[in-house]
Structure 1
Amino acid sequence: MNKQVTFEQVSLNTECFGNPDNPAILLIMGAASSMIWWETPFCQLLADQGFFVIRYDNRDTGKSTSYPPGKPEYTFEDLADDAIRVLDSYTVEKAVIMGMSMGGMLTQMIALRHPERVRGIVLLSSMYFAAGAENLPYSSEEVNEFFASFGQNEPENDHELLEYAIRQWRVTNKSSRPKDVEHIRAMLKLDIERAANYASRVNHSYAQVTGDELGRIAEIQTPALVIHGTEDVVIPYIHGEMLAGTIPDSVLYTMEGAGHELHPQDYIPVVKQIVSRFAP
């Protein structure tokens, strides 16, 4: 079921799976990516295991409110608080919050900003920002070079935009996992078609962090599950190790050979880890 959540001139597109009487899990996708990247089979697997699953488009993605490229009218704190608005709209008092990449960053913030609403957190391919973060490796040279050229030779039509998105996917999702390129092409095409303005997805790169939550994750009191691939070229595996080593009640699940992705090959083992940690 799809539902638009509206407040203060903001509209967020959401979708749910499963029985609303079951314990909830809220899925927050990463930067520049809409909710469809929490693919339906993964959401259905969680629902089949007894969760009420909610996914949604962050601002500037999918069918949610978008702003002019380069001019986001929100902070990361606003994005974190959006998640609570979504829970409110479904009358969910507490939920497991699962975030991928930037979504994991927002999840860390939510655990400290709204601890009374969080039953547990799952951080997938997420970045570590606390003490010692300045000494950690970050994206590969190829990833950095690709994004350094962002804005040059802008795609002039939907075909060029799709080809650009595919090149971005190839650069950021390198790993030993098999690649279904035609499926990814179809997903990216759908992502472009769903977006009010696909170019606005860059706004996540311009949004500011105004609070200090990301440096205080040692204060997180909720149980945590950290999931990270060993071949992640966007956020190296050591970030997962640092997150799990810093958040007090945390468990690290290592996806050997996985990159910056939630690959279909990992759906079942990841769901098993979530159920084991946060059994409905």
Structure 2
Amino acid sequence: MENIYEVNGIEICAETYGDPADPAVLLIHGATASMLWWDSRLCTEIAARGRFVIRYDQRDTGRSTAYPLREPGYAMSDLAADAVGLLDALGIDKAHVVAQSMSGGTALILGVDHPSRVASLTFVSTSTGDEGLPGPSPDMPHLGTPDFADQAAVEEYVVRAIEAEAAGHFEESAARALVVEDMARTRDYEAAMTNHFAMTFDGPRNGGFGDLTVPVLVMHGDADPLLPLPHGEAVRDAVPGARLVVLAGMGHGLSAPYWKAFVDEVAAR
């Protein structure tokens, strides 16, 4: 069941799975993605392995607070503070944090600046952002920008973006159902698709990847067309003691064929 929590003066919508007495797993999805992008069946599978699972809408996604278009007025460190505030609201001392894509930056801030709240970090399809890392695959299509006044065009745009990142693991009906539900429950879908890229991308106050002291796992597909595998290898190399799990054939998103491997790793944290 979804609930709205007052966190840092804003509203955060979150949903939990499992027994609150079990170790907590906090799932943070990437840019523009609401909590729906962590499939409810995946959350249920993690909870069945003895974990209390939390998925939530970050600012400007889903039912959480939306900001004026192209004027988000927040930084990545604020998104990290929201994660801490949500744990406070749920009465959780620390959680195993799992972050996808852009939210690897949020997880880094949590691990460096709020280590007492983090039991472990798992970086999925993310990057250090270092210069010299390869850009997206030249085979990635250039989709442009949709007409946000045309809901059908926006729906088609997001479905095709999912397909482009899927590296062959694409289910049209599932992708379209996700997008339709996401659009219906989001306060301002144009802001959701835009504002994360307009926020201030700050970093930890107290160091960087090399200063992480919590256990770190990196999971990355070797067919990721958006952030090719060297990005995941760079995260591993930047964190002392980090372990990299390469998911053969996986694209940028955590598609269903890889859920078991993902759940096995998260449940072992």
Describe the SS at the equivalent of 2:131: helix
CA deviation map 1:57-98 (0-9, x unaligned): 010100000011211021111011110011101110011000
- Give me the whole-angstrom Cα distance separating, in 2, the residues matched to 1:194 and 1:126: 27
- Give me the whole-angstrom Cα distance separating, in 1, the residues matched to 2:225 and 2:206: 22
5+ residue gaps in structure 1? none
Shift of 1:142: 5.3
User: Which of 169, 174, 179 is the aligned partner of 1:188?
Assistant: 179
Shift of 1:204: 0.5
1:235 aligns with 2:255: no
User: Which of 159, 162, 184 is the aligned partner of 2:155?
Assistant: 162
- Whichever residue aligns with residue 66 of structure 2, its letter is S
Shift of 1:223: 0.2
Shift of 1:273: 1.5
**In 1, are the aligned partners of 2:27 and 2:97 still within 8 Å (CA)?**
yes
Shift of 1:269: 1.1
CA deviation map 1:170-213 (0-9, x unaligned): 2233x132x21011101100010010010002100011123456
- Whichever residue aligns with residue 165 of structure 1, its letter is V
Which 4+ runs in 1 deviate beyond 6 A? none
- Whichever residue aligns with residue 187 of structure 1, its letter is L
CA deviation map 1:81-121 (0-9, x unaligned): 11001110111001100001012221111101100100000
Percent identity over the alignment?
A: 31
Query: In the alignment, which residue of structure 1 is the partner of 2:262?
Result: 270
Scaled by the length of structure 1, what TM-score is found? 0.91
- Give me the whole-angstrom Cα distance separating, in 1, the residues matched to 2:264 and 2:89: 28
1:138 aligns with 2:129: no
1:261 aligns with 2:253: yes
Describe the SS at the equivalent of 1:107: helix
- Give me the whole-angstrom Cα distance separating, in 2, the residues matched to 1:8 and 1:136: 35
- Give me the whole-angstrom Cα distance separating, in 2, the residues matched to 1:214 and 1:104: 16
Query: In the alignment, which residue of structure 2 is the partner of 1:198?
Result: 189
More divergent stretch after superposition (16-25 vs 244-253): 244-253
Q: How does 1:55-204 map to 2 (within 5 A)?
A: 55-129=55-129, 133-141=130-138, 143=140, 145-146=142-143, 149-150=144-145, 154-173=147-166, 175-177=167-169, 179-201=170-192, 202-204=194-196
Matched residue pairs, number? 268
**In 2, are the aligned partners of 1:221 and 1:249 still within 8 Å (CA)?**
no
Describe the SS at the equivalent of 2:98: strand
Describe the SS at the equivalent of 1:78: helix
Scaled by the length of structure 2, what TM-score is found? 0.95
**In 2, are the aligned partners of 1:31 and 1:101 still within 8 Å (CA)?**
yes
- Give me the whole-angstrom Cα distance separating, in 2, the residues matched to 1:236 and 1:72: 29
Could you say what the CA RMSD is over the residues aligned between the two structures, in angstroms?
1.7
Q: How does 1:41-52 map to 2 (within 5 A)?
A: 41-52=41-52
- Give me the whole-angstrom Cα distance separating, in 2, the residues matched to 1:123 and 1:221: 15
